[in-house]
Structure 1
């Protein structure tokens, strides 16, 4: 579906991914609502196909409008917690990510049953095509709690011609090599070496996590309550990361305001040479229609600490789920079935998504066009999932403060992470972890 325009996409929906011509189990009996309410987050451009193409196709076929309420990350999580906690029937489709599984799962249908219903309606849905890792990420405490729509990880994005001009034939494989390359390609104030999501916010964790895990650092053991975030390997990782900005001045000063959209825009505007960020952002950063750096970008796994083989990064994903309390469950399933079909997921990958279907990620045309999918696949194999314990949201907020203080040079990594660890101990005690 390379180069598919909107009209062709709508036609393809009728032919392949649209609503089934045969009678659909439960849909007629349930009745047809005027709309379905979808609650999601508004960061990044990877939902454009979902909102701009799939939803209109669904409305054309069913007459049902999909009303999207897309919120900043923290507001999105709070909205879902509040409404689902109150057993509200006002949400028909809930979008959630890995770290939310602990508190979301009790409010969602068992999606093994959802898959069974979808597969009965549409044998071509092919649940076996979804990567096993995406299914594990969608599972909490043995319950499949959503249908994967996006599975992503952090990789190294770099402008290959600029590295070659500085005498480097490939991507840096270790922390030391990364610093050496960064110092060689840094050319402020027009272009800096490294882009980061430096705002104290929801992007803080993913910007730091690949450094943490590649250095051999850990977060916390939720079974025992043992805290690792202020141990030497974690401290070394944060100090290295913080020094890129505070000491070496390799990061654009405005990166302290950057989150998801800004890291993309910074790459498009040629504000940096390298970034460790979401794999599918490569599509948007390298987009000839929007990026002055299009054609320059290449991809590799993130650097390891002292050897490339030590490279480790984070894994996350987004899932579509049917809440237990919706009155329109069967229509919600039908929208999810369409959105997660092979054709629509292939289309979504062209516009910045990272679909969980193996057939899409391995599509030769898309691999040739986009470049980053095989790198993402390698990273996912050894990546570490975002914690899914209900206490993680509280801990992650405290970690943001420590990371930000180190980036700004206000505290050493040791001072910052000791404070984070102390905060975590209090939070874990309140959550009943480790007692």
Structure 2
């Protein structure tokens, strides 16, 4: 990620508690473990640059990272795991991959039990409930959470205070009122969104959908909810921010991940519902024009703050069924996901899934957003993991985009999405 590459690397001299020495295992020791993951963002820096060398020093085993762009990463895992290849020892996967990954990885309830037996201080209970839900598909835990992202409200507190708004907007109406009060085009608009018709569309819209009480569909029965009244109300509100109220930068229709960060750094907007860890980058004194101005809260609810619901997604570390080095793969994951190393990873752009890390007082004082993320993750709704979701998401992107551009009403756009979804679910053998 461009913004991440610009950040100065933090010192690696953080004092870490000594990890328990691994017990002797009957399994032979390999020269290396092969890790397959994606190369997006810098959140794996602690994993690659610090955890892996510490693991090699402790065990004598090198970790070889193959980090690929999203599509090649997924294709590599599908091809090798589908062929039952023994060449992958640690597989990194994200929520939307769970449906097809699950048959190829160990039951990670058993992995957790093995880790707990080796390291009683690992503390599985410290992992946030939302992170465990996101790592579970069809009732089976399919990986150990390493990174959990969620959508929270980022806002420039001084700008809202200058407009007489003394607390974060807690409802849709309060959000619109605040947006209209701080909107100052063409130099600064009120609201940043990821408006490009692409992979960021879902996460930019989903918090509004869930906080309005809307739903997607039922992957068991094939019932579609995306065009029901609550979902329509959510999309109409979201689209009106751009098409009707003009409180969104016009260029936001080209924005995705890097652009929402850069827009906050360049003072192009006063508020945004976006990835929680982006707060570190938007508020980065070395790169941001707006550093020191940002505050964070959960996303607004429709008519009450208690209705706030957001999306959660993330990345998990899993042991493939076919590796010959399962015992050592588990040992690497134990180390990577320990309290000590996840605390360190938070300093290096990761969004850890542990409550003790996100609620750490020093980290909260330094970064600001982690306790809010912890709160949001507990009630968050994981990105759909059913294999059919990849097909359904494409028409949803088009429908959201059409509403943002004012080409269709939210009702017409979502009626069309629902029609596409019904056909797609039937083709997947779901429903009638």
TM-score, normalised to structure 2's length?
A: 0.91
Superposition pairs of residues 126-205 of structure 1, within 5 angstroms: 126-205=123-202
Report the Cα offset of residue 194 of structure 1.
Answer: 1.2
Q: Is the 8 A contact 1:44 1:261 kept in 2?
A: no
Report the Cα offset of residue 205 of structure 1.
Answer: 0.8
Q: How many residues align?
A: 425
- 1:79 corresponds to 2:76: yes
Superposition pairs of residues 270-285 of structure 1, within 5 angstroms: 270-285=267-282
78-87 or 172-181: bigger deviation: 78-87
Secondary structure of the 1:16 match is coil
- 1:24 corresponds to 2:46: no
62-71 or 271-280: bigger deviation: 62-71
Q: 1:74-105: CA deviations, max 9, x gaps?
A: 44334323332232333222112223222111
Q: Is the 8 A contact 1:93 1:323 kept in 2?
A: yes
Matched residue, 2:424: 427
Matched residue, 2:4: none
Matched residue, 2:263: 266
Matched residue, 2:3: none
Report the Cα offset of residue 22 of structure 1.
Answer: 5.2
Q: Is the 8 A contact 1:157 1:299 kept in 2?
A: yes
Secondary structure of the 2:13 match is helix
**Matched residues in 1 for 2:303 and 2:114: separation?**
49
Matched residue, 1:374: 371
Q: Aligned in 2, Cα 1:412/1:69: closer, same or farther, shift over 3 Å?
A: farther
Report the Cα offset of residue 360 of structure 1.
Answer: 1.3
Matched residue, 2:333: 336
Q: Is the 8 A contact 2:153 2:273 kept in 1?
A: yes
Q: Aligned in 2, Cα 1:59/1:100: closer, same or farther, shift over 3 Å?
A: same
TM-score, normalised to structure 1's length?
A: 0.90
Matched residue, 1:349: 346
Report the Cα offset of residue 208 of structure 1.
Answer: 0.4
- 1:288 corresponds to 2:293: no
**Matched residues in 1 for 2:303 and 2:361: separation?**
33
Q: Any stretches of 5+ residues in structure 2 without a counterpart?
A: 1-8
Q: Aligned in 2, Cα 1:56/1:411: closer, same or farther, shift over 3 Å?
A: farther
Q: Is the 8 A contact 2:152 2:273 kept in 1?
A: yes
- 1:8 corresponds to 2:13: yes
Q: Is the 8 A contact 1:199 1:404 kept in 2?
A: yes
Q: Aligned in 2, Cα 1:32/1:382: closer, same or farther, shift over 3 Å?
A: closer
**Matched residues in 1 for 2:76 and 2:253: separation?**
26
**Matched residues in 1 for 2:414 and 2:346: separation?**
37
Q: Is the 8 A contact 1:269 1:293 kept in 2?
A: yes
Report the Cα offset of residue 7 of structure 1.
Answer: 4.4
**Matched residues in 1 for 2:193 and 2:73: separation?**
23
80-89 or 310-319: bigger deviation: 80-89
Secondary structure of the 2:414 match is helix
**Matched residues in 1 for 2:24 and 2:267: separation?**
50
Q: Is the 8 A contact 1:24 1:121 kept in 2?
A: no
Matched residue, 1:244: 241
RMSD: 2.3
Superposition pairs of residues 283-432 of structure 1, within 5 angstroms: 283-432=280-429
Q: Is the 8 A contact 2:265 2:291 kept in 1?
A: yes
